[in-house]
Chains A and B, each alone.
Chain A
């Protein structure tokens, strides 16, 4: 009896949770000119028209490509930079490794808002404002602290004997890094890459602050504009754009669930 009650409750919770997603999918399929209020069932098959309207008016396609560049580029840079720094702090004879650790790690403790206005001014002065380079640069910097944290933690578990053996073989630091520690930390680096890829993909704040033109603007900023300025297009178009924007994150998330569980536990 209690068991049945529990199962019924669980199913009810699941349905409650799926309801908004269901409504969104149904209404994203509704033809924009037929829309008069939320639909409960598929009445037309206009998803692709809705998507192409969104792509044409708010340049969602360009925005997706921009965001892909930023997410992949900045996550890659951050992970490599973080791996180098982790190697230095963990393996090499650095003076005051704790100080360096905190200097790099401090970036994740501060709320993002505290960086915004000086970055905006500095970007305006250095002509990085509203450029793709500028966006990759800031996203990479934002990604370094957490990637560093993950990779460093992983490297501290590596046995010291590996380093000593490599030194006896006469390997230099760089060779040691490339041959031993880089392959060793591969799993942690992939996890950090995926995590930062998603974080950049989902960013809104820096997108709306440091970019403005459709050629540079990332996806979430474009969606925000679609939701605000172009709200006259109607919910079906906006919801269809939201669905397209979520495909990469949902696919990544479902295929790498275990990575995210592990990365999640380390989030500051």
Chain B
């Protein structure tokens, strides 16, 4: 690609380049790429950690009829839709509403603060809030809404929705920041021109502001999509996928099959399915977005 000038002979330059690139390739290759390839390979075997036998696509065939896997797939779908609807949409609304407003700074701070917490700390906090004798039911009782009190984490699908709300609390701030970055990049002339044309309020938002937020929206939706498909920490800490396996996402199913049940081959098949979904989602989404940009 680059013509070598000066005194260095090409082969010497290549040796140097190899030395520079080797540590990164070695780390990523040995600890990420090889394990990935091995997971794919292992998904074609029945493997309990002690003995391994080739079963071809049997693991995948079993998945299709495994009810707990299908439930886990459904949960992952609910998580994806839920985190696209709530944290992304709320992030957009709050960004638009707080951009250029005095009270906006206060709101922005309140919303962005939880983003600095880890998924585990968020889970600990919401474990306290969502227990049957926890904060949320306490608040409902104080507001005279005792009829709404319920065991938030003990029944499906209530627990999945409750956990999506907890994630919304944590993740909205990040989306809001990104949308604010996008809003601030919009040239004020376009908004003024819109105003001169008589557009105001929602029309201004829909016809002038939102179209210009498209590039940043692609980033936000992409991050949210991939993140929600990999949901693990909060579910692991709040319900362990329970009751039974009712609230498991694909990430938890893979973990339980592999490390609790020692079904390494089957767990690997779940991991491969998850990988295919993540890659397909990113690819389809990005391709569609890139094409509609033309």
Contacts and interface: CB of A to CB of B under 8 A. Distances in A.
Interface of A: 6-7, 9-11, 13-15, 17-21, 23-24, 27, 37-38, 78, 81-82, 84-85, 87-89, 91-95, 97, 100, 103-104, 106-107, 109-120, 122, 137-138, 140-142, 144-145, 148, 164, 167-168, 170, 172-174, 177, 201-202, 204-205, 209, 220, 223-224, 227-228, 235, 238-239, 241-242, 245-246, 249-250, 252-254, 260-261, 264-265, 267-268
Given A38-B135, A174-B16, A202-B119, 8 more contacts: A7-B101, A17-B111, A81-B23, A97-B1, A223-B121, A224-B237, A227-B124, A238-B127
21 contacts: A6-B101, A10-B103, A10-B104, A13-B110, A23-B129, A38-B133, A84-B20, A92-B16, A93-B10, A109-B279, A116-B258, A116-B271, A117-B42, A118-B38, A141-B30, A142-B31, A167-B5, A204-B233, A223-B124, A227-B127, A264-B223
A115 B124 contact: no
Given A10-B106, A13-B107, A110-B36, A141 B174 contact: no
Nearest to B124: A242
Chain A binding surface, main DSSP class: helix
Contacts of A88: 17, 20-21
A19 B136 CA distance: 10
Interface of B: 1-8, 10, 13-14, 16-17, 20-21, 23-25, 27-36, 38-39, 42, 94, 97-98, 101-104, 106-107, 109-111, 113-121, 123-129, 131, 133-135, 138-139, 169, 174, 177-178, 181, 216, 219, 222-223, 226, 229-230, 232-233, 236-237, 250-251, 254-255, 258-259, 264, 267-268, 271-272, 274-275, 278-279, 282
A113 B279 contact: no
Given A109-B282, A245-B118, A10 B28 contact: no
A120 B259 contact: yes
B116 A246 contact: yes
A235 B230 contact: no
Given A109-B279, A120-B259, A168-B6, A138 B274 contact: no
Considering residues A14, A21, A209, which has the most beta carbons from chain B within 10 angstroms of its beta carbon? Answer: A14
A220 B123 CA distance: 11
A172 B245 CA distance: 59
Given A109-B282, A239-B124, A38 B134 contact: yes
Contacts of A27: 128
Nearest to B120: A220
A23 B226 CA distance: 31
Q: Which 5 residue pairs across A and B have the least CB separation, nearest first?
A: A202-B118, A141-B31, A85-B24, A88-B20, A253-B116
